[in-house]
Amino acid sequence: MPSTLEQLGIKSDFEFIDPDHQQQALKLYQKVVRVAGDRSFDQLVNDADFLDLAAEFIRRLQEFITAENEVREKWNKNDLSQWVLSSGIANSNDGALYFIHTTFNMQKDGDISTHGDLSLHNYPQLNKLPPNLTVNGSLFLIKCRFLQHLPSRLHVIGDLDLSGCSALKSLPTDIWISGRLILDAATAHLYEQAEELWKKGQILSVTKNY
């Protein structure tokens, strides 16, 4: 007979590569177990607080899985070229790429960096960023309405402006922003998580434009 948590699709045999992900997941799992107690499944499905906690736990697991998949994923030059073309931030002429906003550097280990700022203002085609990205300047993702998540190990030397990124669900736990994180009404739901990252020293400051 599966346990109550297993009936909710939650299992305890998960294991993450990132020790921080593993620690956070275990803490959340233990909290879910503690709140569930020995109550029956029928009792739990009527407990709104428990369901909110279980949903948060599953959401964080999905976030960690996405982040770790991106760390495993290493883009090559062709991947990068396809991304800039499909996102509309570069055009091609006779097989050569002409970057509209910045120049990208690809390291041998698959890490990607930019020369200076990366300004992606109002790009509806943009639904992802390269994994292992370092922006040597500020990153402007203003009104990128279909961007649902940021890549793991994103490092922004300047500011990160997420104004209008209404589909963005959360911030990666391993993000580093050496400048300001700018939020507006469309991204106000990220403030609580941003504040926690600020307390950990991963964000210099958080600006609320709402």
Phi first, then psi: what are they for 177, rounded to 5°?
-125, 115
Phi-psi region of 77 (alpha: psi -120 to 50; beta: other; left: phi over 0): alpha
pLDDT tens figures, 115-130: 888 888 888 788 889 8
Q: Give residue 3's pLDDT.
A: 57
Cα–Cα distance for residue pair 136/115, rounded to 1 Å: 6
pTM of the complete model = 0.64
The residues of the chain scoring below 50 in pLDDT are 1, 92, 94-98
Distance of CA 115 to the CA centre of its chain: 22
